[in-house]
Amino acid sequence: MQSELLQHLKTFSFPLNVYAYVLAMEPEGLRYLHYGWFEDQSESIAVAQERSTRELLAWLPAPPARLLEVGAGIGTTLALLRVRGYDARGITPDQSQIDFMRIRHGSDFAVSQVRFEEVDTPPGTLDCILFQESSQYIALDQLFSRAAILLRPGGRVILCDEVLPGEPESGEYLHSVTRLKAAAAQLGFSLVEERDLSSKAAPTTDFLLAATARYREDLRRLFDISDEQIDALDESNRQYRRKYASGKYGYVALCFDAAA
Ligand SMILES: C[S@@+](CC[C@H](N)C(=O)[O-])C[C@H]1O[C@@H](n2cnc3c(N)ncnc32)[C@H](O)[C@@H]1O
């Protein structure tokens, strides 16, 4: 791996640094920080991640349109959107991701360090807001109320994320999909597309478990991550795997249009 890339991954917070490193060690290199959508277990994480982005972007309005990518991660999707002719801007609260994106995509890359809750885009100007695995970090009362302010009438929200398929439970921080849809409906959004991708996303936990086993020594040596931290991360991924298998966790892609 390039030493400059490695130096930057070291600045990512735990466990994003672990995920970014193991993905960077794949033959295709580091392209995204999201789960894959696996058609079968034998395909690579890179193919499965690429499918997620490709299928999600199929719901975008045609270019040129004004887009906001919330949680731009390492910038691969944002760069692609700009190449496709969109007037696209990305945000993330994480300065280490901003630094990484500016090195990879140029110092004038259209990304800002700000949380969605505080973004200063002029009201009523966006055609679409994209949340690819970032909606889980934003409180439900902020998610659609902020989107309703920023979008033009008839504008679109596209999101994919891990969710609770049922009602919320104490101790679980993921959004309940029922509540997500209710919050959107309350603000006048109509659900225009919905996909349950739980069985396609779940094999990502197997990839992550295999990858930490494979790179444990690197993670200790290069990132100063302790065995205890890796064990805790593995246990969390095993729990996720069990929760996906039992239907307690799910993964959905949703597309909503604001009232015209
Ligand atoms: C799992 S990563 C996904 C990154 C990228 N969308 C991808 O698919 O590769 C989650 C992203 O959401 C961002 N994020 C977390 N909280 C946020 C907030 N309040 N507002 C905007 N972005 C946020 C993180 O910094 C990160 O970029």
Q: What is the per-residue pLDDT across 206-230, written as a single tens digit (0 to 9) for each? A: 999 999 999 999 999 999 999 999 9
Question: Is the minimum distance from the CB of 70 to ligand 1 under 6 angstroms?
Answer: yes
Distance 73 CA to ligand 1 centre (A): 6
Which of 67, 113, 137, 142 for a ligand 1 pocket mutation test, highest count of atoms within 8 Å of Cβ? Answer: 137
The token pair that represents 21 in the structure block: 């490193």
Beta strand spans in 16-150 (E) = 66-70, 87-92, 111-113, 126-132
CA–CA distance, 236 with 71 (Å, rounded to integer):
22
Is the distance from CB of 256 to CB of 185 less than 8 angstroms?
no
The two tokens of residue 9 are 């991954």
Q: Does domain 3-201+243-257 have CATH number 1.10.1750.10?
A: no
Residue 87 bridge partners (DSSP): 66
Ligand 1 pocket residue status of 52, Cβ below 6 Å? no
- Alpha carbon dihedral 192, 148, 159, 72, in 10-degree steps, equals 150
Largest CA distance in the chain: 55
pTM of the model: 0.96
Give the chain's length.
260
The encoded tokens of residue 256 equal 């909503």
What angle in degrees, to the nearest 10, is found between the helix axes of 95-105 and 76-83?
40
260 residues of the chain, pLDDT tens digit each? 677 788 889 999 999 999 999 999 999 999 999 999 999 989 999 999 999 999 999 999 999 999 999 999 999 999 999 999 999 999 999 999 999 999 999 999 999 999 999 999 999 999 999 999 999 999 999 999 999 999 999 999 999 999 999 877 777 889 999 999 999 999 999 999 999 999 999 999 999 999 999 999 999 999 999 999 999 999 999 999 999 999 999 999 999 999 99
Whole-angstrom Cα distance, residue 167 to residue 141? 16
Q: Are the beta carbons of 222 and 6 closer than 8 angstroms? A: yes
How far from each other are the two terminal CA atoms of the chain, in whole angstroms?
A: 49
Distance (angstroms) between ligand 1 centre and the Cα of 19 equals 14
Instruction: Report the half-sphere exposure of 68 (CA within 13 A, side-chain side).
Output: 28
Residue nearest to atom 23 of ligand 1 (CA): 71
Distance 119 CA to ligand 1 centre (A): 14
Q: Residue whose CA is closest, atom 12 of ligand 1?
A: 71
- Sorted by where each begins, the domain ranges of the chain are 3-201+243-257
| Cross-strand partners of 160 | 132, 253
Tell me the Cα Rg of the chain.
18
Residue 28 is given by DSSP the state T
Question: Which of 54, 92, 150 has most ligand 1 atoms within 8 Å of its beta carbon, as the pocket-test mutant?
Answer: 92
